[in-house]
Structure 1
Amino acid sequence: MSTEQIHVAGFAVSPHHYIHGERVASEVLFDLYCPIDQSLLGRISEGTAAHVDAAIRAALAAFPAWAALTAAERKPYLDRLAAEIGKRAEAFCQVESNDAGILLSRMKHGVVPRAMLNLSWFAEHALTLQDRPMETEQATHLVRHDPAGVVAIITPWNSPLMLATWKLGPALAAGNTVIVKPPEWAPLTSSLLADCAHAAGLPPGVFNIVQGSGAGTGAKLVSDPRLARISFTGSVPTAKWIARAAGANLVPCSLELGGKSPFIVLEDADLDNAAATGALMYRNAGQVCLAGTRFLVHHKVHDAFVAAMRGYVAQLKVGDPRDEATEVGPIIHPRQVERVQGFVQRAVDAGAEVLWGGAPHPFGAQYYAPTMLTHMQQSSEIVQNEVFGPVLTLQTFADDAEAIALANGTDYGLGGVVYGDTAHATAVAEQVRTGFIWVNSFGIRDLAAPFGGIKRSGVGREGGDWSFEFFCDVKDVVVPKKPFRASFSHR
């Protein structure tokens, strides 16, 4: 077992895999850099085919005993895991801020508390699932949610800890064993999570981590026929590859993908409130899949709204995410910076007007100024494709029908925002084709509610019963109410 560690912000982190309750090093390593100042954080073990195989074999071996426990017997493990995250809260905050550029304020007040809740809430909710009776005239149907088997969880770099625990909670609570493939660009808080699992006493093999690239480690993992489920959050191209690999083995997938969500400002909207909320779309440097990135503004309130939002954007502090006053931090990686710059440049070359921003920010190499573009065609690349950076677009509309047509006029359908008179905004929201949509608000979430997208934004739903529908094999045990006698006279 490897005991080697790297140190980030004064906290020790293992750079190695976690398989069958032990740290496992690899001869193949990759460099991990801090997005804030491009400093080397450490060299991380890359998962090979042998590591993937070892993790799957460990998860398979641990599955029978873990699955045999009741939800009530599994619950203390998840509660202890949540408590261990709480004990290491400062480490999680500092490491993820350095590793992924996540705002320290967001880590402290949002991500870490939510990560703990993801585990404890689903552990509690699992208690309600077993043997739900459904009465019909002929029989009692005992609907069971049985563990499916070995689950692969693949998480993105824009919120590694929150999204890992969001999937891990229901997967473990349902009785599955798990292999997490963390993001190559931000793997360190998943490594800390393994320390928590070890301290919480999870049996060896119940929770495993294999690090590495998507094209290498991830591809080997999702192609394996021994998996029972694959849960992925990330890009559309990667999801298509995963779906093809999983389809060859008929392994069910849950895919939470990108967004190009509308932010609709109706004529009767509270413009100041809408503008203040609009400025929030730049948080995490715009690297948020559920953000409203396409602003659709009624033409009569366009000037007033733009003036109000410009004022709020001017107040945003761009800088080091480890400063709790910072509101816009760095873009995760130089390749992502190039992607963002390319989108903006091509849009401007095609005739788009820059309302504000439109250039790198002087704070650092991986910083880009909060940007708003206007005067684009609906068919343009910048309107149709996800940028995943601090870049928004603005279009105007004349009436509700045009607003709805523009909102629905992309291949994405993850989220959305509508500001206006409550009844009016609700009526518009109901006609927008999307997995969820906020009326006069943003970011309100409940673990019991469904989350996911339509069209290219995903397949399936997470949250509440929907998570367990995916992570479980649902079985109907049929008990007749009257004595049953076989008859061959008819079928």
Structure 2
Amino acid sequence: MSEHTITVAGVAIDTRHWIGGERVASAQTFPDVSPIDGSTIGGISRGTAMEAAAAVAAAKAAFPAWAATSRAERARILHAIADGVEKRIEELSIVETTDNGALLRSHRRGVMPRVAHNFRFFADWLLKLEHEDFETRGHTNHVSWDPAGPSVLITPWNAPLMLATWKVAPALAAGNTVILKPAEWTPLTASLLADIAAEAGLPAGVLNVVQGYGSEIGDALTSHPDVRRISFTGSVPTAKRIAESAAANLTPLSLELGGKSPLLVFADADLDLAVDLAVEQYDNAGQVCLAATRFLVEESVAEEFTRRFVEKAGQLTQGDPRDAATDIGPNIHPLQLEKIDGFVQRAVAAGSRAVIGGHRKDGQYYAPTLLTDVAQDSEIVQEEVFGPVLTLQTFATEDEAVRLANDTRFGLAATLATGAPERAERVTAQLVAGTVWTNCFFVRDLQAPFGGSRHSGVGREGGTWSFDFYCDLKNTVTSPNGWNNHG
């Protein structure tokens, strides 16, 4: 076994970058630590501007041939990648659980199958991507999607492989070449993806994977003049730096950022359903950008809602995410745990009350928390915590509910619980959000547009919207005159 190989639950993982179809080591490494027990998994090649330049050069060199590859052949290779993912679902699941602490059962049942589906969906969508020709004064307009070029994809740690392939799959389907930079806290499954893609026959240089810290390699990628698209999922401050970096080259951006989404519970709602939706917000230890972390509950049912919520949340089991009985695992990193606890302690000091939780547990685990007596303009209501911390406020009228729901700088998602279709129609029309769920949560379809409003993001991806971003759209206008009839 190579000095650059580590093993997780019997799965061998190369810790080097994947550039131009070859493994490339860096002079330095950085530690990858499991949030489950704080153990060091291994040292990962720590990329710099040198590796960034090499990856972009490889992507640029591979772009003409990949862009010229037929849609059918691109789709075939994407399906082959999906086949490779499906063959390794168990391996990918245990590696990612070890790396980011999310539930093993969730990876097996939902997350890794979704990774394969990401490739299959965009492969199939590519084959039916078209715009009907239309006429202008006898001239024919034909719309086409041309590959844009090398694309830098920077992905988060909360669902590493699923969110990476949400970007990689449409970028490759569009005919672009890719430089994937996974989050430094969760780099392992991206390395395995490089192996799977190579085994599936993806040409060298079409997918490159580089690892490291944003300040050391990310800036070099996003400022590179040969990069034609940048897609990023993460925090607002990092997005601002990326936007500044990309501005010099006018590189188009897609940004999916933070959220502070509301769950509106009206008195006419099915209260058991509303409570189920509320408890679901602790999924992935609260590390979900779409989570409805602000409960807005009509005054007349607030007490009963809270009682039922506390009872149901008390049934959750927190512990080792590899255990099938576990409902909530650890938080990703000591720095994130410190951030979460800081939010809670400042809120309590300002007068909030922890109905449940409000404290750390052993290791990197934070107790599921619900805070009441929170002011609308307080930090805990206005800022994203990204942990198992929820707040509860009450409202008296529908107008007040909408006002409170929209009163943050974010606009990623919103969830609504009501028994009245007319109310649902009125309220959802007024909510500022990229996605609104009514009497459900986290129902996602890849053909739907996805993204956020305000500080929750720029642009939309999914279905044709993904191809609109990863491609240069072209309209070709043809005159009926001027043909020489030479056949």
Q: Do both share a fold (TM > 0.5)?
A: yes
Cα drift, residue 130 of structure 1: 4.8
Provide the residue aligned with 1:388 in structure 2.
Answer: 386
- 1:422 and 1:440 in contact (8 A); partners too: no
Provide the residue aligned with 1:405 in structure 2.
Answer: 403
- 1:132 and 1:144 in contact (8 A); partners too: no
1:237 lines up with 2:237 in the alignment: yes
1:419 lines up with 2:417 in the alignment: yes
CA distance in 1, matches of 2:14, 2:299: 54
Cα drift, residue 420 of structure 1: 0.5
- 2:122 and 2:173 in contact (8 A); partners too: yes
1:15-414 matches, within 5 Å, as: 15-130=15-130, 132-361=132-361, 364-414=362-412
SS of 2:258's equivalent in the other structure is coil
- 2:343 and 2:380 in contact (8 A); partners too: yes
Cα drift, residue 426 of structure 1: 3.0
Cα drift, residue 216 of structure 1: 1.2
Cα drift, residue 323 of structure 1: 1.1
Task: Count matched residues.
Answer: 482
Cα pair distance change 1:397/1:65, threshold 3 Å: same
Give the AA of the match of 2:261. S
Provide the residue aligned with 2:451 in structure 1.
Answer: 452
CA distance in 2, matches of 1:3, 1:360: 37
SS of 2:247's equivalent in the other structure is helix
CA distance in 2, matches of 1:422, 1:18: 53
Cα drift, residue 425 of structure 1: 2.3
Cα drift, residue 256 of structure 1: 0.2
- 1:138 and 1:482 in contact (8 A); partners too: no
CA distance in 2, matches of 1:420, 1:130: 39
CA distance in 1, matches of 2:37, 2:138: 68
- Where does structure 1 lack aligned partners over 5 or more consecutive residues? 485-491
Cα deviation digits, residues 118-154 of structure 1 (max 9, x gap): 0111011011225642333432111000000000000
Cα drift, residue 229 of structure 1: 0.2
- Where does structure 2 lack aligned partners over 5 or more consecutive residues? none
- 2:150 and 2:229 in contact (8 A); partners too: yes
CA distance in 1, matches of 2:146, 2:292: 37
- 1:179 and 1:209 in contact (8 A); partners too: yes
CA distance in 2, matches of 1:422, 1:133: 42
Cα pair distance change 1:302/1:56, threshold 3 Å: same
Cα drift, residue 27 of structure 1: 1.1
Cα deviation digits, residues 433-466 of structure 1 (max 9, x gap): 1111100000111110001000000000010011
Cα deviation digits, residues 23-64 of structure 1 (max 9, x gap): 111111001110000011000001111111111111011000
CA distance in 1, matches of 2:347, 2:225: 43
SS of 2:435's equivalent in the other structure is coil
SS of 2:430's equivalent in the other structure is coil
Cα pair distance change 1:63/1:132, threshold 3 Å: farther
SS of 1:477's equivalent in the other structure is strand
CA distance in 1, matches of 2:333, 2:440: 30
- 1:59 and 1:208 in contact (8 A); partners too: yes
CA distance in 1, matches of 2:96, 2:132: 40
CA distance in 2, matches of 1:25, 1:436: 41
SS of 1:430's equivalent in the other structure is helix
Give the AA of the match of 2:384. E
- 1:34 and 1:98 in contact (8 A); partners too: yes
Cα drift, residue 184 of structure 1: 0.2
RMSD: 1.3
- 1:266 and 1:425 in contact (8 A); partners too: no
Q: TM-score, normalised by structure 2?
A: 0.97
Give the AA of the match of 2:296. L
Provide the residue aligned with 1:487 in structure 2.
Answer: none
CA distance in 2, matches of 1:147, 1:261: 35
Give the AA of the match of 2:446. L
SS of 2:124's equivalent in the other structure is helix
Cα drift, residue 422 of structure 1: 4.1
Q: TM-score, normalised by structure 1?
A: 0.96
SS of 2:461's equivalent in the other structure is coil
CA distance in 1, matches of 2:156, 2:4: 25
Cα deviation digits, residues 306-333 of structure 1 (max 9, x gap): 0111111011110111112211110000
Give the AA of the match of 1:76. R
Give the AA of the match of 2:35. P
Give the AA of the match of 2:444. R
Cα pair distance change 1:3/1:135, threshold 3 Å: farther
Give the AA of the match of 1:449. A
Cα deviation digits, residues 193-249 of structure 1 (max 9, x gap): 011011111100000000001111111111111100000000000000000100111
- 1:129 and 1:144 in contact (8 A); partners too: no
Cα pair distance change 1:321/1:33, threshold 3 Å: same
SS of 1:324's equivalent in the other structure is coil
SS of 1:331's equivalent in the other structure is coil
Give the AA of the match of 1:434. A
- 2:268 and 2:420 in contact (8 A); partners too: no
CA distance in 1, matches of 2:171, 2:420: 37
- 2:148 and 2:228 in contact (8 A); partners too: yes
SS of 1:396's equivalent in the other structure is strand
SS of 1:18's equivalent in the other structure is strand
CA distance in 1, matches of 2:190, 2:133: 38
